[in-house]
Amino acid sequence: MAGAGVVAEALEQVSVPHILITPAKFLKWDDQDTAASSTYIVRVDPKGHVLYWKPEDYSKDTEVLELVTIRDVRFGSYAKSPKNAVVREALKSNASSEEECARIIERTVSVCYGPNFVDVSFTNFVASSISEAQEWGKSLLAIIGNLLDTNASPLRSLDRFFTRISVQTNQEGNIAAKTLVKCFASSKDDKKRAYDALQVVGLASGKKDTISMAEFTFEKFIDFYNRLCTRQDLDNIFAHLGVGKKPYLTVDQLVDFLNNTQRDPRLNEILYPYYNTARAQSIIEAYERSQDFVKKGYMSIEGLTKYLMSEDNLVITPERFIPVHQDMSAPLSHYFVNSSHNTYLTGHQFTGRSSVEIYRQVLLSGCRCIELDCWDGKTEEQEPIITHGMTLCTEVNFKVPNSITTSYFDGSIL
């Protein structure tokens, strides 16, 4: 790619604004849930892993949404309006006046999330004021889409999963053992293995038991996880390095493993020097839990597993995730452009559904060249439409209606 004078910036870990960590009271609605009159406590965990909410009266279980699945946050005139008449009436009942009723959309924060561009869903939160909705929306929008999180190490992903579990507590701050087991197992045999693993690591293991979050630490969670997910490949590494019956690697064996197994031999030796005893010992100190082993320069299989799953052992180095600012004054043909073909389609090119939402999703993902297949409409006015011509694909209007941001609450219909 063309461009001189590249300037790089290091990506920083997400810093969660205080307003998101502090529990806030919102009304919550979506067009499938008609209970829009309930008050929910909504917050983000301090590490920026999940957005979660529960009814103020604990009448329902906690719902959790991982921030890496959030694709957009919309507020103000861009927030969603309820299509379900029951939801609209339920929201109206919470307005103190007609004026407040008409401004409900301005107090809405719409969270768009999904596993891909097409399969997106919306959850909507109604704040007590417009200013709160704007501050919440801006703060949440600022911490999503971080490349360090979307390319997280297995250990950080497990930390995210642990956070997802740990926020699902009851009023006493405990989590049900069956809730934890359900996260890992569905069949009868797998559930038995999960309950047995809980017992082995010293946690409550009865089907009706609850686990105190004070004792259910991340280290305990890792112990539980390792009991469920055995690593035969690491056992083979230990055997290959000549450990024998010893439950550890010596610092010299670790150096041998790091240089001759893990290290890419094509790397520049000056920029990426070989490991020595001192560097291997620093790894042991960072990841080995047994202080006795640390003093002796030993690393257990648990310590090695933790190291291999950490940010220090990513397949792609974090330097590859930094934003790059380039000279954009060269002709367009000098650059690669992220483009989208048949942008409007969400599925099959002959019978698929067209959607306006998909345009927003591809632009948010980085596309800078999109396709608009314009055809004469089938109405008398022949207003232009976008569709895959001469097929059975559905169509969307080319023209955006003037009422696109008009509220349902003033009696109009989008």
68 three-class SS:
helix
28 three-class SS:
strand
Question: How far apart are alpha carbons 344 and 355 in whole angstroms?
Answer: 6
Question: How far apart are alpha carbons 287 and 408 in whole angstroms?
Answer: 56
Residue 234 neighbours by CB under 8 Å, 6+ apart: 301, 304, 305, 308
Reference 43, options 223, 163, 156, 174; nearest CA is: 163
| Residues making up the chain, counted from first to last | 414
Token pair for 237: 């590494």
Place of tokens 């608009």: 372
Q: How many C-beta neighbours within 10 Å does residue 212 have?
A: 13
Reference 299, options 286, 318, 313; nearest CA is: 286
Question: How far apart are alpha carbons 351 and 198 in whole angstroms?
Answer: 50
Q: Classify the phi-psi angles of 76: left when phi > 0, otherwise alpha if psi is within -120 to 50, otherwise beta.
A: left
Q: Is the dihedral of CA 399, 400, 402, 403 positive or negative?
A: positive
Reference 355, options 369, 345, 368; nearest CA is: 345
Clarify whether 240 is annotated catalytic: no
**Angle between the N-to-C axes of helices 218-228 and 301-308, in degrees from 0 to 180, rounded to the nearest 10:** 100
Residue 343 neighbours by CB under 8 Å, 6+ apart: 358, 359, 362, 367, 370, 371, 372
Which one of 240, 325, 334, 341 is the catalytic residue?
341
Question: How far apart are alpha carbons 93 and 60 in whole angstroms?
Answer: 21
Clarify whether 388 is annotated catalytic: yes
Residues annotated as catalytic are 341, 388
